[in-house]
Amino acid sequence: MQLQSNIVVIATRNEGKVKEFAKLFGDKGYKVRSLADYTDLPEIVESGATFAENARIKAQTISAHLHVPVLADDSGLCVKALDGRPGVYSARFAGEQATDAENNEQLLRALKEAESRELHLVPAEGEHPELLSPAAFVCALSLIDPVANEVIEAEDEFQGYIIGEHRGESGFGYDPIFYIPELGRTMAELSIEEKNELSHRAKALRSFLNQLPDVRKPI
């Protein structure tokens, strides 16, 4: 397997995601660009019912337009007490133009209103904040190279709990309320190096990168 370019376009404008991808792809010799580097791109309609379907739709749409390898991810938060919501609607849980802060507040409101919400104690030493529900960050990746006719896909998740307070200044999305009992910290309290070792996106990327060839020479 060999991609036809040493440049991979990440189908996102989210600077946090781009930084994570750029660091991991750099070890393989690839240069990363994002949608912010291009104009007149087609609209992406995320109509899939699963993370994997949405990732594939995004990669197909952008790669067909740019004719270069495109990596798309669809990721989100699945909360047990909300029957898996917000799921594929994680980025727009509080509305189409919702900010991260608005999505976080909407999630906490939904948990307070959920009849099925239970408190879950963690069998670990030390003190923890109130744990509102088990949850998992899920990430699906799809890379499509329209020239080489190559497709690489991977999916993984990271387990934790939702807490009712915001902690940490790093990360993005639901990171400030996603708590990891083993570490006693939220995802937003981790360094980028720690997050790149533990996160759902990092785990999916490792599986993905194992399938991706190193760049042999610039094209």
List the catalytic residues: 74
Residue 17 marked in a binding site: yes
Residue 207 marked in a binding site: no
- Residue 202 has which token pair? 């990092």
Give the phi and the psi of residue 82 in degrees, each rounded to 5.
-110, 20
Residue 73 marked in a binding site: no
Residue 203 marked in a binding site: no
Residue 58 marked in a binding site: no
- Residue 209 has which token pair? 């990168």
Task: State the Cα–Cα distance between residues 13 and 33, nearest whole angstrom.
Answer: 10
Residue 30 marked in a binding site: no
Residue 201 marked in a binding site: yes
Beta strands in the chain (DSSP E): 7-10, 31-34, 70-79, 131-145, 150-163, 178-180, 185-186
Residue 14 marked in a binding site: yes
Q: Look at residues 183, 174, 182 and name the one whose alpha carbon lies nearest to residue 201.
A: 174
Q: What are the angstrom distances between the C-alpha of 33 and each of 58, 73, 78, 93?
A: 15, 14, 29, 27
Residue 16 marked in a binding site: yes
Contacts of 80 (CB under 8 A, 6+ apart): 133, 134, 135
Residue 75 marked in a binding site: yes
Residues in the annotated binding site for substrate: 12-17, 75, 172-175, 195, 200-201
Name the binding residues: 12-17, 74-75, 172-175, 195, 200-201
Return binding residues for Mg(2+): 74
